[in-house]
Chain A
Amino acid sequence: SQTIHQWPATLVQPVGSPLSLECTVEGTSNPNLYWYRQAAGRGLQLLFYSVGIGQISSEVPQNLSASRPQDRQFILSSKKLLLSDSGFYLCAWGPNLNTEAFFGQGTRLTVV
């Protein structure tokens, strides 16, 4: 069966520090991968999605970047965190184009 792993679960980082959140998927190949951000009490904002290795689509201009160095690995990064980067970050994968996505448990990032 397929599983998605996202870590860490919580993270407190100072302003100006770098960020690296990792997401891996097991049990499938060539998944669509997604990074979403969710502010407290708000909806899900699509940040990046990827349909293959090295293929990243960015949805909103921001302080973040994403990379997909391996088929089942998706990384969300920042060189210098801002206070506004705080939120709940969710990684998701989809088996094919035009299908549902399955979510990880999320990382709660607090920038202080």
Chain B
Amino acid sequence: GESVGLHLPTLSVQEGDNSIINCAYSNSASDYFIWYKQESGKGPQFIIDIRSNMDKRQGQRVTVLLNKTVKHLSLQIAATQPGDSAVYFCAENRAGGTSYGKLTFGQGTILTVHP
């Protein structure tokens, strides 16, 4: 569920390294998950998504992994670049029920890439 009100965790990496950002979700009824990137002063931007019938999905330099057993989602960024520095949020959407269509965000992680 939502973890608002908490200070965001941080991840610092060197340019060129791979980054892994993790997210835990609590609603087992969620069947669609999204990763967003938010740069300072801007709205979040869509990065990649995955549905619950998949375990892994790859994009350009990014991979999302979904473990439904432990309700865990991760975003892997390959060859991290300074331009990847931002806050990363996972979000979940639930199919059916009274919360159908409600997009709920996770806590967020601040990624800092050092040149």
Which A residues contact B (CB, under 8 angstroms)?
32, 34, 36, 39, 41-46, 49, 51, 57, 59, 90, 92, 94, 97-106, 108
Quick one: CB contact mask for B27-50 with A, threshold 8 Å, 1 for yes? Answer: 000011010100001111110010
Contacts of B89 in A (CB 8 A): 43-44
Q: How many A-B residue pairs have CB under 8 A?
A: 82
B91 to chain A, nearest CB (A): 8
Contacts of B6 in A (CB 8 A): 42-43
Residues in A neighbouring B63, C-beta threshold 8 A: none
Closest to A45 in B: B4
Query: When chains A and B are docked, how far (Å) is the Cα of A101 from the Cα of B9?
Result: 24
Q: Give the nearest-CB partner of B4 in chain A.
A: A45
A sample of 19 cross-chain residue pairs with beta-carbon separation below 8 angstroms, ordered by A number, consists of: A34-B103, A42-B4, A42-B7, A43-B3, A43-B6, A44-B4, A45-B4, A46-B102, A51-B100, A92-B43, A94-B103, A97-B95, A98-B94, A99-B32, A101-B103, A102-B46, A105-B42, A106-B41, A108-B41
B5 touches A98 (CB 8 A): no
- Nearest CB on A from B81, distance (A): 22
The reply to whether A36 and B7 form a contact with Cβ atoms under 8 Å apart is: no
Once the chains are docked, how many angstroms separate the CA of A32 from the CA of B91? 15
Number of B residues with CB within 8 Å of any CB on chain A: 32
- Cβ of A100 and Cβ of B7 under 8 Å apart? no
A49 adjacent to B4 (CB under 8 Å): no
Q: Are B105 and A43 in contact (CB under 8 A)?
A: yes
List B residues 75-99 near A (Cβ within 8 Å): 89, 91, 93-95
User: Is A43's CB under 8 angstroms from B106's CB?
Assistant: yes
**11 other A-B residue contacts (CB within 8 Å) besides A42-B8, A98-B93:** A41-B8, A42-B4, A42-B5, A43-B2, A43-B3, A45-B4, A45-B105, A94-B101, A101-B91, A102-B46, A106-B41
